[in-house]
Amino acid sequence: MSTPLRVGAVVITMGTRPDDLRALIDSIAAQEGDPVEVVVVGQGTPVTGVPDGVRTVELPENLGIPGGRNVGIEAFGPGGTDVDVLLFLDDDGLLAHTDTAELVRQAFTADPRLGIISFRIADPETGVTQRRHVPRLRSADPMRSSRVTTFLGGANAVRTKVFAEVGGLPDEFFYAHEETDLAWRALDAGWMIDYRSDMVLLHPTTAPSRHASYHFNVARNRVWLARRNLPAPLVPVYLGVWLLLTLARRPSLSALKAWLGGFRAGWTTPCGPRRPMRWRTVWRLTRLGRPPVV
């Protein structure tokens, strides 16, 4: 019998949802199989009211979503190597079933090249999964599991060997598209990503635009994503498609101004190291249903 994979969990919090955070931690503690060790990272806030045995890291300032999660990864040793798999869960989410950690262990054990699993997010009252929470273009049926090209940042599991091979999340993104940046690097290194409809995080239905910096960050980070990861001929194609898609959605004047400001900033500010994916990775993405031009 092989030794079960060691699983940990990283939760970042702004300290504004203590009851939700406690409920999430309780749902992690209720998982079947070996216990899942939890690290809670406070983004410029003290972490209080967590059960005994839950480790906490209190940052002096908000480092953003990728920065906070990277701190959580390192709390499990360099690159998270004290465990085999890390769960990343939003602090206002709740694991719907007690077998999720066991399903994660089984999936990674069965497929050595599986690097990332994206969970299904469902509203706790209606059970509805928003279209944007299915990480593929053909997303009409959220109950269909499949191979995908990206994943959901607040409801996923990552094999820590992925971090050892390709690095962590891009700190400078702060919020938006950091998952796709990691996904593209993982795919380029030969890892696979699965969307699993049977691994469920209950999370209230929200609009991403609730974040004040949403439109600016989405545009800036889209440009950074392309500059960092795409072969040079695809950069203008990818960004041109997204410019047209944004205009077709007819955003408000204020949203469009913020988006254009972010688009400009994406070209004029440092985006981190450039490591363009191989053309065979472009072909892999295309065969998986999402060529890196949309």
User: Taking each helix axis from N to C terminus, what angle separates 234-248 and 214-229, rounded to the nearest 10 degrees?
Assistant: 160
Q: Which of 168, 276, 174 is nearest to 218 (CA)?
A: 174
- 142-155 per-position pLDDT tens digit: 999 999 999 999 99
5-200: CATH number: 3.90.550.60
**Average pLDDT score over the chain:** 95
Distance from C-alpha of 231 to C-alpha of 173, rounded to nearest angstrom: 20
What average pLDDT score do residues 187-212 get? 88
Whether 74 and 80 have beta carbons less than 8 Å apart is answered as: yes
pLDDT-derived band of residue 139, with 50, 70 and 90 as boundaries? Answer: confident
* H or E element, residue 281: helix 279-287
Whether 226 and 238 have beta carbons less than 8 Å apart is answered as: yes
Q: Which of 82, 4, 104, 88 is nearest to 41 (CA)?
A: 88
Determine the residue type at 97.
Answer: H
User: Would you state the structure tokens that stand for residue 14, as one six-digit string?
Assistant: 């702004």
Compute the radius of gyration of the chain from its Cα atoms.
Answer: 18
pLDDT-derived band of residue 205, with 50, 70 and 90 as boundaries? Answer: confident
Global pTM reads: 0.96
C-alpha count within 13 angstroms, C-beta hemisphere, residue 112: 0
Domain ranges of the chain: 5-200, 210-273+282-286
pLDDT-derived band of residue 207, with 50, 70 and 90 as boundaries? Answer: confident
pLDDT-derived band of residue 211, with 50, 70 and 90 as boundaries? Answer: low
Whether 88 and 69 have beta carbons less than 8 Å apart is answered as: yes
Residue 91's φ and ψ, nearest 5 degrees, are -75, -10
* pLDDT for the residue 210: 52
* H or E element, residue 187: helix 178-188
